[in-house]
Structure 1
Amino acid sequence: MGKLIGVFVCLVIVALDVIAGILGIKAEAAQNQEKHLRLWIFECKQPSHDAFLLGLAAASLLGIAHILANLVGGCSVCTQDELQKASPSKQMSMACLVLTWIILAVGMSTLVIGIISNHKSRASCGFTHHHFLSIGGILCMVHALFSVAYYVTATSSLP
């Protein structure tokens, strides 16, 4: 029964991250549909409400997937001394945990930059902000890989 729950948890995490990735990429497509005027590195564009909502949904799903992966994976090694004495499986688990946090930080940051650039009050000119939403969407999918790897290595090393 425990393995079946583990498979279900992994599928839920992957589904949340993949849906977030698809929403991020769709948000980029919606942003590109808006009118914009570009002169070298400066760009004037209208914000896209659809891109704003899709990006917000993608960021929310990424956050939920990350919280779920951390809750079910747990943390059994928390000090440097314990980490050095831990088995290779636990060390791999900690490496995957650190990578999920890094991917979350970069992915969430790029999604938030894309969301802010599509906020209604941001109809202004400035430097170009291309592909932040799609990069965030791709990082959501990468987050799924490392979250599942973290969950698998964390639960396989439990007694």
Structure 2
Amino acid sequence: MDVVAGILGIEAEKAENQVKHLKVRVFECREPSYKAFKLGLAACVLLALAHAIGNLVGGCVCIWSKEDLNRETANKQLAVASLIFSWIVLAVAFSMLMVGTLSNSKSRRTCWIAHHRLLSIGGVLCFIHGLFTVAYFVSAEATRKEDRMMVLQQRQRAQGQEHA
């Protein structure tokens, strides 16, 4: 979904650049592009869905303190770092896509400060978000496997001590 959102963001930028515009220094007067609006909105929705699904499928990997972070395995540390970075990239990408999308709303027919490249940069950030989300999912799964193995080993030790 992140890949599709990224492609839609880039396509929205292309559609935005096809409308007539007049630029005077930092101000730009142009007609809004309905196609860019639709593509940008679709990119926003897909990005949000990809993030929600990635977090639901990845589950909850929580670390409550710095001491916990230092004690945890590399997989769990990677999961937490990936989760944090995916939220940061989501915030930036979603903001850029929304500002670019809203600048193409039908109600925007005035001159404003130019917002060039917001849709395409937001689209590229969707790809980066996808990488962090996949890294989160993979490391969260590895963490769960490690936790199951640790519980199994503790049970085996406990059973071994009972028989001795």
TM-score, length basis structure 1: 0.88
1:99 aligns with 2:85: yes
CA-atom RMSD in angstroms: 0.9
Say if 1:49 and 1:120, in contact at 8 Å, map to a contact too. yes
Say if 1:89 and 1:157, in contact at 8 Å, map to a contact too. yes
Q: Superposition pairs for residues 1-150 of structure 1, below 5 Å?
A: 16-80=1-65, 81-150=67-136
AA aligned to 1:23 is: L
Q: How many residues align?
A: 144
Say if 2:79 and 2:135, in contact at 8 Å, map to a contact too. yes
Identity rate, percent: 51
- Of structures 1 and 2, the larger Rg is shown by 2
Deviating runs (4+, > 4 A) in structure 1? none
TM-score, length basis structure 2: 0.85
Separation in 1, partners of 2:34, 2:61: 43
Say if 2:61 and 2:80, in contact at 8 Å, map to a contact too. no
* Structure 2: stretches of 5+ with no match in the other structure: 149-164
Q: Deviations over 1:37-68 (max 9, x none)?
A: 00111110110100000000000000010001
Separation in 2, partners of 1:51, 1:42: 20
